[in-house]
């Protein structure tokens, strides 16, 4: 049932490809503007790269949340989905679709923006790029899971975008800190296994609890 719901989410999202492109364009534009605003020097950009890329990724994920929930709620599709399947299955399908269509493309785009931010300046191999991608692979699913809970809780509110930001950003901050510090540790040739382990722990906790919390919140919001 989850696979059927996931296929449905992907088909719906494909019809609204412009909505999918906006968060990715936002991600690229925000990171691309920093060399113009701060300094084109490689050493400066490399130092700023982890924080800039991670903040841009976080805001892009937040920007894309409404597309996966608001339209279904407004046209009544969400109520029908909850009648056909369990709330947890609906929540899982939306979380998976959100990550596949937003989180995964951010991971794929990150090496290009890493080059722009001179993340591998002074090294022969692209080690720092791989660390950046790995941190995003572990971090972006957690952002999707937490965002799903916040969005599900605020669906019935008239200005849910602001409420989601107030609810979710404090929970995003630890992921942002450890995601950026993972890349920073790699840039400073320090061990980053601890930061990756913490990101993995955040993801594991979110995977266990967030789908059920999101499903329950969807049922309350629609009911």
pLDDT tens for 169-194 read 999 999 999 999 999 999 988 999 99
HEC string for 42-63: HHHHHHHHHHHHHHHHHHHHHH
Of the pLDDT bands very low, low, confident and very high (cuts 50, 70, 90), residue 14 is confident
* Residue 76 backbone zone (phi > 0: left; psi -120 to 50: alpha; other: beta): left
* pLDDT-derived band at 158, boundaries 50, 70, 90: low
What percentage of residues in the chain have a pLDDT greater than 70?
95
Overall average pLDDT of the 10-31 stretch: 86
Tokens of 110: 């990150």
What token pair was written down for 29? Answer: 């534009």
Structure tokens at 68: 């996966």
Contact residues for 162 (Cβ-Cβ < 8 A; gap 6+) = none
Phi (first) and psi of residue 18, to 5 degrees: -65, -40
DSSP 3-state assignment of 156? coil
What integer best gives the mean pLDDT of the chain? 88
The pLDDT of residue 124 is 61
Q: Is the pLDDT of residue 196 over 90?
A: yes
Please state the rounded mean pLDDT for residues 45-59.
Answer: 93
């Amino acid at each position: 049932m989850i696979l059927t719901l996931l296929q449905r989410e992907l088909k719906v999202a494909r019809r609204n490809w412009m909505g999918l492109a906006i968060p990715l364009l936002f991600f690229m534009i925000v990171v691309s503007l920093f060399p113009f605003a701060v300094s084109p020097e490689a050493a400066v950009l490399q130092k700023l790269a982890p924080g800039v890329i991670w903040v841009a990724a976080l805001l892009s994920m937040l920007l894309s949340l409404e597309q996966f929930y608001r339209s279904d709620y407004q046209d009544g599709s969400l109520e029908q989905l909850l009648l056909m399947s369990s709330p947890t299955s609906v929540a899982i399908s939306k979380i998976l679709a959100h990550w596949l269509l937003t989180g995964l493309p951010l991971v794929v785009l990150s090496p290009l923006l890493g080059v722009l931010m001179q993340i591998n300046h002074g090294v022969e191999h692209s080690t720092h790029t791989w660390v950046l991608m790995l941190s995003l692979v572990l971090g972006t699913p957690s952002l999707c899971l937490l965002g799903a809970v916040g969005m599900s809780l605020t669906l019935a509110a008239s200005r849910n975008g602001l409420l989601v930001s107030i609810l979710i950003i404090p929970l995003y901050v630890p992921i942002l800190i450890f995601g950026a510090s993972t890349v920073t540790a790699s840039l400073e040739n320090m061990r980053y296994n601890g930061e990756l382990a913490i990101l993995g722990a955040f993801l594991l906790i979110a995977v266990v609890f967030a789908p059920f919390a999101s499903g329950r919140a969807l049922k309350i919001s629609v009911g």
